[in-house]
Structure formats: structure tokens, C-alpha cells
């Protein structure tokens, strides 16, 4: 048999093999319901979705997962679930909120009256008796010197702790309610005449401190969705409440303090008189920290 004929027969056999070969069978998907032991479906679905193909899906129903996937995808999902569907860790979350206030006041003033019957110079003073005062007199002449140098510091700190399971939300808040007297004029018509009536009552103003948090742990790292808030009554303004609040998501290591935010503010004012000068300054520092510890 000549070579051209042999090559022709080989080509025909190869073509027949291609034509007669069975078509590739696409992988079919099946539906399986997988119960969860410890975690919620909304906690594990975001982890499982990237493992599925275009024709596959996973949804949650009560405490179960409804999975449509190929056998290979289903096997991979079950391996991942064995790692993440575990008992949640017990955590102790502590939030510390600090506030430090420094105020300084300095004043120096000279006042009095000097002269004779022909002419006299009078320097008025502020009339304040605060600070150190020195008065010199000779006849009708009088000089008064006043010096004020005061500094006041205050520091307050609140620390609250709460236990929570990993992946679940927790909330803690304590506070104080103070009565606030109110007065209003109510105008009515009596027998065709307008009558004003004063009505007095009592309202209540609340000031509370606390936080809400959702922790998620991966290894030695923790991620927190946290909302700490601190409210205090302003003693210098009746019924006013100072509010400090932080809403944030942070990550850090278990057992270590994590800074959530802080404020440093400084103010200074000065004033001058004819023979005097005064200045006031204040600085305020506020900070919020959180620590997460794993409980046995």
C-alpha cells in the first residue's frame, strides 16, 4: 500500500473519531439544605458566595442554608462551613471615655486716687475683691493693687464593660434624669374675653452614657462596629447637656486598648484696662478607647 493512501485513511479515521466522540456533559447543579449549628445564615452567606459559580446560589431560611451548587462546589462549601460554623467566642468589651479640663485666670490691676486740692487723678477699679489685694493710704491718697492668679483642673473618666458573643450585638447605657421646671402662658377665651393663664410644670432632661457594639473575630484580630456616647449636665447652663459621641468601625488586637478618637481644644482671651491686664485660658482633652478580651 502506497504512502498517500495510508495518510488518507489515517485522516478519515481521525475525523470519524471526532464525529463519533460523545459531547462534553455540563456539570449539573443540585439543591441541598444544610443546617447551621452555631452561626446565623447572614453571617456565613457572604463568606460562601464567592465559592459559587454563575449558575449556583445560596440563601438562608431560618437556621438553614439552601444551596444550589455542583457536587464540587457543595463539597467545598461543607469544608468551609466546618471551619466557620463553630461556637462563637465569648468576649468582654470595655469602653473608656476620658475628659480633662484645665482653666487658668490671671489678672493684675492698679486703682486708686492721687492728688491735692488743685488736681486729683482717680483710676477706677473693677470692684472685685478676688485675689491678693494691697491698699496704701496717705491722707486722701489711696492706691490699691490687686493680683489674681488661679488655676482649676478637673478630670473625669467613665468605664463600662459588657459581655457579648462574637458576631452578635450588645448594648449598655446608664444615665441620670433631672427635673426642669417649665412655665408657659396659655391664652383662652372666657365669656368673650381673652384670659391669659400661667401654667407651671416639670419636665425631665436625661443624660446617659453607654455604647452599642457588634464584634467580629478572626484569629487574634477583632473588628468592631461601635457607637459610644457620653452625655453630662452642664452645671453652668441650666438644663444644658454636653454630648460626646463616636460612630466608627475599627480593628485591633485582642487584649489591647484601641483608640476610637479624641479631641484637643485650647482657648485663650485677654483684656486690658488703663492700669491693668487680665487673661484667661482653657484647654480640653477628650478621648475614647475600647478593649476586647476573650473569655474562657
pLDDT (0 to 100) of residue 18: 43
- The DSSP result for 108-170, as a single string, is EEEEEEEE-SS-EEEE-------SEEEEEEETTEEEEEEEEEEEEEEEEEEEEEEEEETTS-E
pLDDT (0 to 100) of residue 20: 46
Confidence category of residue 40, pLDDT binned at 50, 70, 90: confident
Check residues 132 and 111 and name the one with the higher pLDDT: 111
Confidence category of residue 31, pLDDT binned at 50, 70, 90: very high
Closest by alpha carbon to 154, among 91, 98, 213?
A: 98
Annotate 13-50 with three-state secondary structure: HHHHHHHHCCCCCCCCCEEEEEECCCCCHHHHHHHHHH
pLDDT (0 to 100) of residue 255: 95
State the CB neighbour count (10 A cutoff) for residue 174: 9
Confidence category of residue 11, pLDDT binned at 50, 70, 90: very low
Confidence category of residue 113, pLDDT binned at 50, 70, 90: low
Mean pLDDT of 95-102: 84
Alpha-carbon span 190 to 219, nearest angstrom: 75
Ranking 17-21, 117-121, 180-184 by mean pLDDT, the lowest is 17-21
What is the four-CA torsion angle of 117, 123, 129, 135, rounded to 10 degrees?
Answer: -50
- pLDDT tens-digit series, residues 242-291: 888 889 999 999 999 999 987 777 777 767 665 567 677 777 788 899 99
Check residues 228 and 113 and name the one with the higher pLDDT: 228
Ranking 16-20, 223-227, 250-254 by mean pLDDT, the lowest is 16-20
Mean pLDDT of 144-171: 82
Domains defined for the chain, CATH in brackets: 28-87 (3.30.1370.120), 90-103+155-267+281-295 (no CATH), 105-149 (no CATH)
Amino acid at each position: 500500500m502506497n504512502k498517500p493512501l495510508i495518510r488518507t485513511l489515517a485522516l478519515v479515521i481521525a475525523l470519524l473519531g471526532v464525529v463519533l466522540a460523545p459531547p462534553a456533559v455540563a456539570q449539573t447543579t443540585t439543591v441541598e439544605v444544610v443546617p447551621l449549628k452555631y452561626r446565623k445564615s447572614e453571617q456565613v452567606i457572604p463568606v460562601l458566595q464567592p465559592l459559587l459559580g454563575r449558575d449556583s446560589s445560596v440563601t438562608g431560611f431560618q437556621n438553614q442554608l439552601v444551596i444550589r451548587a455542583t457536587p464540587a462546589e457543595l463539597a467545598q462549601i461543607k469544608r468551609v462551613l466546618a471551619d466557620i460554623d463553630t461556637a462563637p467566642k465569648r468576649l468582654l468589651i470595655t469602653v473608656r471615655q476620658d475628659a480633662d479640663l484645665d482653666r487658668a485666670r490671671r489678672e493684675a490691676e492698679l486703682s486708686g486716687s492721687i492728688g491735692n486740692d488743685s488736681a486729683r487723678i482717680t483710676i477706677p477699679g473693677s470692684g472685685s475683691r478676688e485675689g491678693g489685694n494691697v491698699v496704701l493710704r496717705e491722707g486722701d491718697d489711696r492706691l490699691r493693687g490687686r493680683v489674681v492668679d488661679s488655676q482649676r483642673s478637673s478630670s473625669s473618666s467613665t468605664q463600662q464593660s459588657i459581655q457579648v458573643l462574637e458576631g452578635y450585638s450588645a448594648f449598655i447605657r446608664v444615665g441620670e434624669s433631672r427635673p426642669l421646671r417649665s412655665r408657659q402662658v396659655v391664652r383662652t377665651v372666657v365669656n368673650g374675653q381673652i384670659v391669659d393663664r400661667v401654667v407651671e410644670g416639670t419636665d425631665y432632661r436625661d443624660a446617659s452614657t453607654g455604647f452599642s457594639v457588634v464584634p467580629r473575630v478572626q484569629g487574634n484580630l477583632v473588628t468592631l462596629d461601635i457607637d459610644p456616647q457620653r452625655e453630662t449636665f452642664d452645671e453652668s447652663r441650666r438644663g444644658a447637656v454636653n454630648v460626646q459621641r463616636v460612630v466608627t468601625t475599627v480593628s485591633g488586637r485582642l487584649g489591647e486598648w484601641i483608640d476610637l478618637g479624641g479631641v484637643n481644644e485650647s482657648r485663650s482671651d485677654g483684656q486690658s484696662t488703663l492700669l491693668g491686664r487680665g487673661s484667661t485660658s482653657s484647654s480640653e482633652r477628650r478621648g475614647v478607647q475600647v478593649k476586647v478580651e476573650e473569655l474562657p
